[in-house]
Amino acid sequence: MNIIRFSILATLGISIAVSSHASVLTRDNGAPVGDNQNSRTAGSNGSVLLEDVHLIQKLQRFARERIPERVVHARGTGAHGVFKAYRDFSDLTIAAPFSTKSKETPVFVRFSTVIHSKGSPETLRDPRGFATKFYTDQGNWDLVGNNLPVFFIRDAIKFPDMVHSLKPSPITNTQDPNRFFDFFSHEPGATHMLTWVYSDYGTPASYRKMDGWGVHAYKWINKMGQITYVKFHWKSKQGVENLDLDQATEVQGKDFNHLTNDLYNAINNGQHPQWDLYVKTLTPSQLSDFDYNALDATKMWLGVKEVKAGTMTLNKVPNNFFQATEQAAFAPSNTIPGIEPSEDRLLQGRVFSYADTQLHRLGANHQSLPINRPRVSVLNYNKDGQLNMGNTMSDVDYQPSVTAPVSEAPEYKYSRVKLKGTTQQLAISKPMNFAQAGALFRSFSEQQQRNLVRNLAADLGKVKNDQVKHRMLSYFYRADKSFGQQITSAVNGDLDRVQSLAKQGS
């Protein structure tokens, strides 16, 4: 009977929702998903594969959720400036900004809040974006990072889920700790980033007094094709200053644009903020020298020496906020010869998703806009599309061609990396989810620790699901027993239960 009924309905074009005992996650075409936690990679340390259609679809759909506002980093402030190289790094990379000592490269920097919407107060707790566009003589290089050195997740396949949990509820349109802690209770690797965000670093007092981090490892390539892994760190020469919970509340009541106003006023008054760029480098063989995966975005390279690479000065406020700050399009895929993405799984996804987001948000020709336009000539046959401002004079729109020859530059081929193993969908080895979170907690002063516990308890205390709350408490306990005990007491948790969960590793 049911079979006949379904056939009649299908003939009439009426869709049917077939129920089952267990709901199965599917792609948009209805195909079931085998693994929604790990991207498909070429071996245990290899690159993420473009053939992972579930990952690609998640990122494409996620990038198209909102128009015209950015899905993330919607609240932003920008400024122009210049980067001056401190020394010659040509032994490690052919990248133009580091090729000679004292070389100057124009830059545009966009600071932002990650989760909150375009008109939100700048006092709200949030990681801060720190994106730098270098207008080099090899093309534009975008170093797209944050004010914190790590991130919540280590695989781009979880990025839409993470942001969905942090964004307002689709029912109430308000941000809800019950939602995002439900997600993070399944992501023990987020413990390190949560410790950073719920410290006073989550509420900076000034963009000028804030460090920036590239977060991911990248590759530097020299003229012999040799690879060096590198991490970038902007150190504020103004020092670092944050707000505690009371100060943030007070500032919000007086000026919810305090970060933008502080930056603009300083620059307009001739107090041009500066950051020194430092790098940490590792050879490929050194990546395995740690008790954690060195390409894991939830980890810092502790104990690796930093070397100064240059200084950036911001010296000009944009003439028009929309034309510069709002139309500035940053993407980790905007690299130049001598700089390539590492095999970091989160970065591999960002290389695709950021560029795809900008294509959706601003159109196919967004890199022709003045704020995004390279300072060097652009020559390729990417053509047409909305708002194309070109002046095509040739009948040849392909390559190679005899009548209009355009050659490649073989010296700029991608670097070569040996691969072994099989394609897979597995979590990384050596996750070490809690050690660096504990080290960070112990590095804080007693006052900073108290502020962290207070900030965290304000949200975790709102979680109604006892299982979610105690699982989160067990993560903080595993990071540091004192940390776990303090936050458990602050939210009236059951310490015995927390300790039992910590022993179980669940």
Give the pLDDT confidence of 109-167 residue by residue, as tens digits.
999 998 888 889 999 999 999 999 999 999 999 999 999 999 999 999 999 999 999 99
C-alpha to C-alpha distance for 66 and 84, rounded to whole angstroms: 37
Please compute the mean of the pLDDT values over residues 338-349 and round it to a whole number: 96
Mean pLDDT check: name the lowest of 381-390, 428-437, 481-490.
381-390
pLDDT value of residue 449:
98
- The tokens for 367 are 């890199």
C-alpha to C-alpha distance for 239 and 208, rounded to whole angstroms: 8
For residues 83 and 277, the answer to whether their CB atoms sit within 8 Å is yes
Residues acting as catalytic residues: 73, 146
Query: Considering the entire predicted model, what is its pTM?
Result: 0.90
Decide: helix, strand or coil at residue 288.
helix
Please compute the mean of the pLDDT values over residues 48-61 and round it to a whole number: 83
- The tokens for 245 are 């919970």
C-alpha to C-alpha distance for 74 and 139, rounded to whole angstroms: 26
For residues 314 and 80, the answer to whether their CB atoms sit within 8 Å is yes
For residues 332 and 351, the answer to whether their CB atoms sit within 8 Å is yes
Answer with the residue of higher pLDDT: 45 or 231: 231
* pLDDT confidence band for 16 (50 / 70 / 90): very low
pLDDT of 27 > 90? The answer is no
The dihedrals phi and psi of 145, each to the nearest 5 degrees, come to: -135, -160
- CATH 2.60.40.1080 for domain 55-149+204-368: no
pLDDT of 270 > 70? The answer is yes
pLDDT value of residue 36:
86
Decide: helix, strand or coil at residue 239.
coil
Please compute the mean of the pLDDT values over residues 184-210 and round it to a whole number: 98
Residue burial 122-147, b: 16+ Cβ < 10 Å; e: rest: bbbbbbbbbbbbbbbebbbbbbbbbb
Which residue in 108, 313, 129, 302 sits closest to 210, CA to CA?
129
For residues 457 and 487, the answer to whether their CB atoms sit within 8 Å is yes
Decide: helix, strand or coil at residue 189.
helix
C-alpha to C-alpha distance for 447 and 273, rounded to whole angstroms: 28
Give the pLDDT confidence of 71-81 residue by residue, as tens digits.
788 889 999 99
Give the pLDDT confidence of 415-457 residue by residue, as tens digits.
998 888 899 999 999 999 999 999 999 999 999 999 999 999 9
The pLDDT > 90 percentage for the chain reads 73
pLDDT value of residue 506:
52
Helix (H), strand (E) counts: the chain: 14, 12
pLDDT value of residue 263:
98
| Structural domain spans, the chain | 55-149+204-368, 435-504
pLDDT value of residue 252:
93
Q: Please report the beta strands in 114-203, taking only residues with DSSP state E, as ranges in sequence order.
A: 128-136, 139-146
Decide: helix, strand or coil at residue 76.
strand
Please compute the mean of the pLDDT values over residues 47-73 and round it to a whole number: 79
Question: What is the secondary structure of 338-384 as a DSSP string?
Answer: TEEE-S-HHHHHHHHHHHHHHHHHH-TTGGGSTTT--SS--------
pLDDT value of residue 14:
41
Q: Are strands 227-236 and 212-213 parallel, antiparallel or unpaired?
A: antiparallel
pLDDT value of residue 305:
98
- Chain mean pLDDT for the chain: 91
pLDDT value of residue 9:
39
The dihedrals phi and psi of 227, each to the nearest 5 degrees, come to: -105, 135
For residues 301 and 231, the answer to whether their CB atoms sit within 8 Å is yes
pLDDT value of residue 66:
61
**One-letter amino acid for residue 189 of the chain:** G
pLDDT value of residue 57:
80
pLDDT value of residue 34:
83
